[in-house]
Amino acid sequence: MTATVLESQLVVGATLFILGVVGFLTRRNLILIMLSAELMLHGVSINLTAFSRYHGNPQGQVFTIFVLTIAACEAGLALSLILSLYQRRKSLDIFLWGKLGEDDLPVFTGTPAPPITVSVDPNVDLPHLTPAGRMPKTQPGPQTKT
Amino acid sequence: MDWSKENELLVIPLLLGCFAVWWLMPSAKKRPRIVGVLAGLAACIMIQGMLLPQAGDYIRSVLFFVFAAAAVISAGLMITDRNPVYSALWFALVTLSVCGLFLLNAAPFLSAATIIVYAGAIIVTFLFVIMLAQQAGTATSYDQQPIQPLMATVVGFILLGVLLFTLQEWGAIDGTSTNEHAEPRQFIAVPAEIQPNPLSQAPHDNPHEIGSLRVLGRSLFGDYLFAVEIAGTVLLIATIGAIAIAPRRAQGTL
Amino acid sequence: MTNWLNENILWLIPAAPLLACLWIVLVGQVIGRKYAHRPLVLGLAVSLAASLYLLTVVVPHGFGHDEHESSHSVMTTVYQWIKIGTIDVPVTLRADAMSALMLTMVTSVSLLVAIFASSYMKGDPGYPRFFAAMSLFVFSMCMLVLAGNFLLLFVFWEAVGLCSYLLIGFWFHKPSAAAAAKKAFVVNRIGDFGLILGIFLIWQTFGTLDFAALFESPKLIDGILAGQPDILHWICILLFIGAVGKSAQFPLQVWLPDAMEGPTPVSALIHAATMVTAGVYLVARCTPFFVHAPYVQMTVAGIGAATALIAAITALTQYDLKRVLAYSTVSQLGYMFMSLGAAGGGEGLALHAVTFAMFHMFTHAFFKAVLFLSAGSVMHAMGDVIDMRRFSGLRKALPITHWTFLAGALALAGVPLLSGFWSKDEILAVLAAASREGEHAGFYGIILAIALLTSLMTAFYTFRAYFMTFWGEEKFPEEAGHHPHDAPPAMAVPLAILAVAALGIGLMTGPTHLYGHYLHHTPGLPHADEFPIDWLMMGISSILAAVGIGTAYQLYVVSPKIVENLQRRLSLAYQASQNGLYIDWFGYKFIAAPLRGLAAICEFVDRWVIDALVDCVGFIPGLFGSIIRPIQNGMVQNYAAVMMLGLVVCLISVLRVLVETH
C-alpha cells in the first residue's frame, strides 16, 4: 500500500466533490441539483474507502455504508418534495421558488421558464391499465374507435 | 508569478478544467462542445501525469486510471448536459466508476451495495421523476440556462486548487515537494501503527480481510450497533415522510 | 371641637369642592347624571360655612376692631412637596384677613352660581362634565387664595387657567368656542411666563418663596433694598405681567370678550367674579413689594386706566349683551388696577389703595355676577339669542330677570347708596388724593380724569344695554317661541339673593368701613391713618351716574332716531368702537402674523433641513444595505455559492498560516 495510491484517490474524490459543487451551483433543474449533491457524496465515499484501505481497518467502509443509508433517505425525501413542488407549478425550475428573498427585490436574473402545458392529444391511443381486482373491459374504449 | 511557475503542473490543468466545465455549460449560444471536451481531456491527462510515477502493480494502476478518468469525465458531462435524462445516465456511469474504485480499495461489499442502492434504486427513481415531469421528452428552457456559471465554476476550481495544493505540499503527490522541511505525509498525519479500538470486535490481523462481509458485519453490528439502529430509524422516518409528502393534494393544503 | 375646627378649617375649604369633583368624575358620570350638581352644591355649602367661620378664626376680635398689632395668619402644612437642598416647598395653606375675605366672596358667589347653573344647564349632554370642571375650578381657586408660597400659588394659577380653558371650550364642537378657549389659554401663557420669571427672581433674591417669611418681616425686604435697590422693580413688573394676563388688562385683554363663548354661569363665575380678579389679588398680596417700587405702581395705574378707557369705549357700541358685560368687566378690572396703582401717590395711600381695590373687587363680584346671570336668564328665555337688536321690551315678559338686572345695572353705574357707588367712589377718592400731593400728582390727575370719564361711560353703556333689552316695544326672536318664560325658581332664587347683595353689600360694609378695618388685619400691609370721606368725589360720581343713565334713557327710549344720526355722522368712531379700537385686529396683524411667518420658516427648516439631515442619517445605512441586499434573493444556490466563497477564504487563510509556519 503506497502513499501515492491514497493521494491519487484523494485527488479523484476532491475532483468529484468539486464537480458536484459546481453542478449544485449552476443547474436550475431541481432533480439535477439533487443529483449533484449525490455526486458530492460519491467524492466523500471515495475518500472514506481510501482511508479505510490506508489504515487497514473497516471503519471507513462502515461510514460509507452510513453515507449510503443517509443518501437513500435524502433521495427519497428529496424526490417526494420535488414531486410535491412539481404538482404546484408543473415545472422543475428552481426560479419559481424564490419566495425566500426580500419581497421588493426582483427574482434572480434569468427568465423564469414558462410552465409546460401538458396537452393530451385525444387521438393518441394510450394504453389503459385495468385497476386491480376488476374485470378487464372487453369492449373497446371510445378512443380506440377513432 | 514565481509561485505559479513552480506549481504550473497544478495550475495549468486546473485552469484548463475550469475552462472546460465553463465551456460545456449549457448556454443560449450554441458552443462547439468538442472544444470543452478536448480541454477537459487535456486537463485530465495533465493531472494524470501528476499522479505518476506509479511503482509496480501496473494492472492496478491502469484500472485505477481508467476508473478515475471515467468517474471524472462522466461527472463533468453529467453536470453540463442539457438533457436531465442524460445527466441521470451520466450519473449512473459515475456511480459505476466509483464502485470500481471501491473494488480497488478492497471494498467489494460496499461496491455491490452502492450499485444496488444507487443504480438500482436511486437513479431509477430519479429517472421516473424526470420522465413524469418532462413527458414531452424535450429539453426545457430552464435546463438550457445555468445560474451564475462563471462564478460557480471559478469558485469551485479555486477550492479544488486549494485542496490539491494542500495534497501536493504535505502529501507529496509527485514526490518533489517544494517544502523541503516537511516530512512526507506530514499533513495527512497518521501514526504508522494504528491502535486498534479496544472495544472493536472486528479482527485486524489480516489486512486483506478488511472489506469482507465478516469484518464489516462485526464492525457494524458490534462497534456501531447504536448508530445502525439510529440509521434504521432515520430510514423509517424518511419513508414515512416521503409517503406523507408525495401524494397529490388540493392546492394550498401543504 | 372649636380647637379641632380652628386647626382643620383650612384644608376643609378646598377639600369639599375637590371631593365633589372626584365624586362627579368617578361616580357621577355613571350614576345620577341628572343630579351631578348636588355634590358641588353640597361641597360649596360646606366651603362657604367654613369660610365664614374662618373669618372669625383669622381675626378673633371681629370686624370693627381697628388694631393692626393683633393681626396674625393661620397656617397648616398639608404635605411636604419639594425638599431639595435649600429648596423647600411644602404644600402650605395660609390664611389671613385678605384671603379669608376673598374666600368668602369666592365660595358664596360660586354657591349661588352653582344653584343657578343646575337649572340653566339642564338637559345639556355634558351636564356632569360641567359640574366636574366647575368643582375643579372652585378647588383650584380656593387653593390659589390659600397658597402659602409663590410656587403653590403658581401651580393653582395654572390650574384655574386650565379650568377656564375647559369651561370656555365646554361646547367644544362649536369652532368659535374651541378657538376662544385656545386664545384664552395662549394669551394667559404670556402673563404666566412673566409670573414664573418673577417667582424665579424672588427665589434668586430672597432665597425663599414663603409668604410668611417674605411679607411678615420688613427687615428682609429692607436688607435686600440696601443691597439691590432696583431688584424689587423687576420683581414687581414681572409679577404685574402675570396679573395683566390673568386679569385681562391692556394689552392682553383680548381673550376675555371671546371667553363669553362659554356657558353663561361660567362667564359669571370665572370671567367676572373670581378668576379674573386673581391678578388683583396677586398685586394686593404683594403690596409689601410694590410699595418699594413706585414706578411700577404708576405703570399699574397707567395700564389700568388705559384698559378701563378702551374697554368702556368698546362697550358703548356692542350689540351682544354678554360682550357688553365682558367689556364692562375688563373696564372694572382696570378700575381696580388704577386703585392699586394709586398706592404710588404717597406714603399714606398704599393701605387705602389696596383696601379700595379689594373692596371694589368684592362688590364687583356680586353685581357683575347678577348682571351675567340675568343675561343668562334672558338668553335662556330667548332661546340662546344674545343679540340685543333682536329682542326688546322684555320687562313685562321677564319681570324677575328685569328687576335683578336693574339692580345689578344700578350698582354698576354707581347710583348713590348702592354697592358700586361706595367702592367706585372710594377709588375715585384715593386717586384724587394721589393727584393732590406727591411728586407724581400730574400723572394721577390724568388717571383721575380717565376714571371719571370711564365712570360716565359705564353708567351710559350699562343702561344702554338695560334699555335696549327691557324697554321699548315688546319683541321676541323666533327661537324663543311665543311665550318666553321667566327664570324658574332654581334660577330666580340665586338671582334674587345676588341682587340684594349687589344693592346692599356696599352699604353694609362701605360707609361703616367694616371691610376696610377687617382687611387692615392682613399682616404685612403698611400702616396708615383713617381715610377721610371725599364728599366732592361722591357728588361728582353721583352726577356722572345720573348723566350717564339720563343720556342712555334719552337716546334709547325717548328718541332712538338720534342714535341712528350719530351712527351716520360719526361712522368712523362708531366703527372703531364696534371693533374694540382694532386692538384685536392689530394683534393679529402685527403680532400673530409675524409669529405665523416665523412658524412657517421654522416649519420649513424643520421639514427640509432637520428632517433632511435625519433622513440622510437613515439613508446612508440604507444605501449600504441596498448594496448587499441583492444577496438575499431567495435562491438557495446563491446562498450556497456565498458559503463556498467563505469556505475558500477560510481554507486559503489557514493555508497561508501553515505555509508560513513550515
Distance (Å) from the alpha carbon of A146 to chain B's nearest alpha carbon = 23
Q: Select from C447, C438, C442, C322 the least CA-distant residue to C386.
A: C322
What are the distances in angstroms from CA C574 to CA A98, B20, C317, C332, C450?
81, 104, 7, 22, 20
CA angle C110, C168, C43 (to 5 degrees): 25
In the predicted model, is pLDDT for residue B247 greater than 80? Answer: no
pLDDT of residue A103: 66
From CA C373, how far away is CA B221, in angstroms rounded? 107
Percent of chain B with pLDDT over 90: 17
CA nearest to C643 within chain B:
B155
Between chains, do A24 and C637 touch, taking CB under 8 Å as contact? yes
Taking the CA of residue C517 as centre, how many other CA atoms within 13 Å lie in the half-sphere pointing to its CB? 14
Choose, out of B10, B159, B178, B179, the residue to mutate when testing the contact with C (most C CBs < 10 Å): B159
Q: What is the 3-state secondary structure (H, E, C) of C251-280?
A: CCCCHHHHHHHCCHHHHHHHHHHCHHHHHH
Q: Do C637 and A98 touch (CB under 8 A)?
A: no
Asked whether the whole model's pTM tops 0.80, one would answer no
Q: Which residues of C touch B166 (CB under 8 A)?
A: 655
Q: Would you say residue A144 has pLDDT above 50? A: no
Q: How far away is chain A from the Cα of C639, in angstroms, using its nearest Cα?
A: 9
Do A66 and B231 make contact, defined as CB atoms within 8 angstroms?
yes
**Mean pLDDT score, B111-120:** 89
Using CB atoms, pick whichever of A32, A65, A87 lies closest to residue B113: A65
A130 and chain B in contact, CB less than 8 A? no
- Do residue A87 and residue B75 have CB atoms under 8 angstroms apart? no
Q: What is the mean pLDDT of residues A15-43?
A: 91
pLDDT recorded at residue C221? 81
Task: Please return the burial class of A139, using the count of CB atoms within 10 Å of its CB with bins 0-12, 13-18 and 19+.
Answer: exposed
With CB atoms and an 8 Å threshold, state whether A94 touches C636.
yes
Domain residues for the domain of B81 are 2-192
C638 touches A: beta carbon within 8 Å: yes
Residue B127 and residue C617 in contact, taking contact as beta carbons nearer than 8 Å: no
Tell me which chain C residues have a C-beta less than 8 angstroms from the C-beta of B179. Answer: 659, 662
Average pLDDT on B1-7 reads: 62
Report whether the peptide linkage leading into residue C251 is cis, meaning its omega lies within 30 degrees of zero: yes
Q: How many CB atoms lie within 10 A of CB B187?
A: 16
Report the CATH number that the domain containing residue B95 is assigned in CATH: 1.20.120
Q: Do C648 and B152 count as a contact with CB atoms less than 8 A apart?
A: no
> How far apart are the CA of C160 and the nearest CA of chain A, in angstroms?
56
What residue ranges of chain C have pLDDT lower than 50?
A: 65, 68-70
pLDDT the model gives residue A120:
58
**A vs B: CB pairs below 8 A:** 284
> Is the Cβ of B156 closer than 8 Å to some Cβ of chain C?
yes
CB-CB: which of B102, B149, B211 is closest to A26? B149
Calpha distance C381→C386 (Å, rounded): 10
Q: Is the dihedral of CA C564, C569, C572, C574 positive or negative?
A: negative
How many independent structural domains does chain B possess? 1
Tell me the C-alpha distance between C297 and A51, whole Å. Answer: 109
Helices C127-146 and C37-58 sit at what angle, rounded to 10 degrees? Answer: 10
Predicted confidence at residue B178, as pLDDT, reads: 38
Chain C residue with minimum CA distance to B152 = C641
Which strand (E) or helix (H) includes residue C605?
A: helix C593-605
Q: Provide the pLDDT for residue C62.
A: 56
Cβ distance C641 to B169 less than 8 Å, yes or no, reads no
| Per-residue model confidence as pLDDT tens digits over A30-83 | 888 999 999 999 999 999 998 888 777 788 889 999 999 999 999 989 988 888
Task: Answer whether CATH 1.10.287.3510 is correct for domain A3-99.
Answer: yes
CB-based contact (8 Å) between C226 and chain B?
Answer: no
Residue C632: list chain A partners with CB under 8 A. 101-102, 105
| pLDDT in the model for residue C138 | 92
Distance in angstroms (rounded) separating the CA atoms of residues A51 and C560: 126
Work out the minimum CA distance from B131 to partner chain A, whole angstroms.
11
Question: Average pLDDT for residues B89-101, to the nearest whole number?
Answer: 93
B165 touches C: beta carbon within 8 Å: yes
Q: Which chains touch B (3 or more CB pairs under 8 A)?
A: A, C
CA distance C637 to B172: 35
Candidate from A21, A24, A108 with C-beta closest to C635: A108
CB pairs under 8 A between B and C: 33
Are C629 and A105 in contact (CB < 8 Å)?
Answer: yes
ipTM > 0.85 (yes/no) = no
Chain C contact set for A112 (CB, 8 A): none
Find the closest chain B residue to A11 by CA distance.
Answer: B164
User: What does the pLDDT average to over B11-22?
Assistant: 88
For residue B240, what pLDDT is reported? 93
Cα–Cα distance, B94 to C517 (Å, whole number): 122
Contacts of C650 (CB under 8 A, 6+ apart): none
Cβ neighbours of B20 (radius 10 Å): 24
Chains in contact with C, where contact means 3 or more Cβ–Cβ distances below 8 Å, are A, B
* C-alpha–C-alpha distance, residues C112 and C363, integer Å: 15
Q: Quick check: B7 contacting A, CB < 8 Å?
A: no
> In the predicted model, is pLDDT for residue B74 greater than 70?
yes
What pLDDT sits at residue B51? 64
Q: Which residues of A touch C629 (CB under 8 A)?
A: 102, 105
pLDDT tens sequence across B161-192 = 888 888 777 654 444 433 344 444 444 444 44
With an 8 Å Cβ cutoff, are C641 and A25 in contact? yes
**pLDDT of the residue at A1:** 35
Residue B147 sits at the chain A interface (C-beta within 8 Å): yes
Nearest to A116 among B140, B239, B251 (CB): B140
User: Is A21 within 8 Å of C644 when comparing Cβ atoms?
Assistant: yes
Residue whose entry in the numeric block shows the C-alpha cell 441521470? B88
pLDDT, position A95: 78
Asked if the Cβ–Cβ distance from B151 to C641 is below 8 Å, we say yes
In percent, how much of chain B has pLDDT > 70?
Answer: 72
- Domain ranges for chain A, please list them: 3-99
pLDDT at B202 over 60: no
pLDDT for position C154: 92
C636 backbone φψ class: left, alpha, beta (φ>0; ψ -120 to 50): alpha
The C-alpha of B49 sits at a distance from chain C's nearest C-alpha, in angstroms, of 25
d(CA C441, CA C434): 6
**CA–CA distance, C110 with C402 (Å, rounded to integer):** 22
Residue B11 has pLDDT above 60, yes or no: yes
* Residue B171 touches chain A, beta carbons under 8 Å: yes
